[in-house]
């Protein structure tokens, strides 16, 4: 499943092709994605794209009437193609622009989504319930410390809670906790304030570096593969079970927390 940096790089890839263009047509071939695609998405037709934003792992295509909201789910891909490009299997939705460019959404598993946010209405519930963005001043280690005082859940699960902070997915949670020297299995309320203050900064650094790496390797979104997927980047613990820790040489361990594979070094993380 794409994580926040991958979605942000997707935003960077499609934005130049959409900004300032009028939406000629929204073509929905399969309404049943993760949720039914609402008819209201057609309200964007004839309107100019004012902005392409990201909130957590949701992409917003903003118009004066409201926003088309896209979520890639587990297998979703976005491509920029000419509007007359033949449709292939799993091409479920097009946003056709007046310059004959088309944003095409392909999703083999249909766990992705296309929603509508009316400009005159409050944020839809799933968006309104989200915590702060990790790369803003609204998030820091003090917030982690304050919210953790009554939490017995494992600290890795705690920092992956979208109500605490959005976008700290499995890969980057593993990496941040390793750099911070915190055992991912440790109860959230037992992590010290000092450790949380450091962890807050490390989360920001890990995500910002991943976005930077993705940006430097960004492929042209007019290519057939569309979504850049996970970028080539150096991961210190994720996916390295049984391999030597780069710091102490001990074997990297793996357990399951919250139904997610979790990787850590027992010597370096306490």
Together in a domain, 119 and 54: yes
- Does the annotation place 185 within a ligand binding site? no
98 and 159: one domain? Answer: no
pLDDT at position 218, please? 57
Name the residue among 147, 139, 151, 264 with its Cα closest to residue 201.
Answer: 139
Query: Sign (positive/negative) of CA torsion 173, 161, 111, 41?
Result: negative
Q: State the average pLDDT over residues 171-189.
A: 97
* Coil, strand or helix at 233: coil
Whichever domain contains 79, its CATH number is 3.20.190.10
Judge if 149 and 235 occupy the same domain: yes
Of residues 41 and 7, the one with the higher pLDDT is 41
For residue 17, name the pLDDT band (cuts at 50, 70, 90).
Answer: very high
Report yes or no on 224 lying in a domain: yes
Region of poorest pLDDT, from 5-14, 90-99, 210-219:
210-219
Residue 189 lies in a domain: yes
Q: Do residues 118 and 194 share a domain?
A: no
Chain centre to alpha carbon of residue 78: 14
59 with 164, same domain? Answer: no
Task: Specify whether 166 is located in the same domain as 251.
Answer: yes
Same domain assignment for residues 147 and 113 = no
C-alpha–C-alpha distance, residues 177 and 195, integer Å: 10
Domain count, the chain: 2
**Residues 6+ positions from 144 with CB-CB distance below 8 Å:** 158, 159, 164, 165, 196, 199, 200
First-to-last alpha carbon distance for the chain, in angstroms, is 28
Report the pLDDT averaged over residues 129-133. Answer: 97
Q: Of 128, 157, 186, which one is at a domain's C-terminal end?
A: 128
Q: Which of 128, 155, 176 is the last residue of a domain?
A: 128
CATH number of the domain enclosing 236: 1.10.8.50
pLDDT digit string (tens) for 47-105? 999 999 999 999 999 999 999 999 999 888 899 999 999 999 999 999 999 999 999 99
Q: Which of 95, 128, 161 is the endpoint of a domain?
A: 128
Q: Kindly report, residue by residue over 232-261, the tens digit of the pLDDT.
A: 678 999 999 999 999 999 999 999 999 999
pTM of the full structure? 0.90
Asked whether residue 236 is assigned to any structural domain, the reply reads yes
Q: How far apart are CA 168 and CA 182, in angstroms?
A: 15
**Active site members:** 2-3, 57, 260
Q: Are residues 173 and 108 in the same domain?
A: no
State residue 224's pLDDT score.
Answer: 44
Residue 209 among known ligand-binding residues: no
Q: Annotated binding residue at 90? A: yes
152 and 118: one domain? Answer: no
124 and 8 housed in the same domain = yes
State the pLDDT at residue 227. Answer: 52
Instruction: For residues 96 and 164, state if they share a domain.
Output: no
Q: 173: domain range?
A: 141-264
């Amino acid at each position: 499943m794409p994580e926040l940096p991958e979605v942000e790089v997707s935003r960077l890839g499609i934005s130049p092709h959409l900004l300032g263009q009028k939406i000629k047509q929204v073509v929905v071939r399969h309404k049943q994605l993760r949720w039914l695609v609402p008819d209201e998405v057609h309200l964007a037709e004839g309107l100019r794209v004012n902005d392409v934003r990201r909130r957590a792992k949701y992409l917003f295509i903003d118009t004066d009437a409201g926003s088309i909201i896209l979520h890639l789910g587990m297998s979703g891909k976005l491509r920029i193609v000419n509007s007359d490009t033949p449709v292939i299997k799993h091409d479920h939705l097009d946003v056709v622009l007046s310059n004959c460019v088309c944003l095409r959404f392909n999703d083999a598993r249909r766990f992705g989504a296309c929603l509508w946010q009316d400009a005159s209405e409050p944020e839809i519930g799933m968006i309104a319930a989200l915590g702060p963005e990790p790369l803003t001043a609204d998030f820091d280690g003090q917030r982690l410390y304050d919210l953790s005082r009554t939490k017995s859940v494992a600290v890795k699960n705690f920092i992956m809670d979208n109500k605490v902070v959005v976008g700290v997915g499995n890969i980057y949670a593993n990496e941040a906790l390793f750099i911070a020297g915190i055992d991912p299995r440790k109860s959230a309320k037992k992590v010290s304030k000092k450790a949380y203050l450091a962890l807050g900064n490390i989360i920001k650094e890990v995500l910002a570096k991943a976005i930077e790496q993705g940006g430097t390797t960004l492929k042209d979104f007019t290519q057939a593969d569309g979504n850049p997927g996970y970028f080539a980047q150096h991961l210190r613990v994720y996916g390295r079970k049984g391999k030597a820790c780069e710091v102490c040489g001990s074997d990297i361990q793996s357990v399951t927390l919250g139904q997610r594979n979790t990787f850590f070094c027992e010597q370096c993380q306490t």
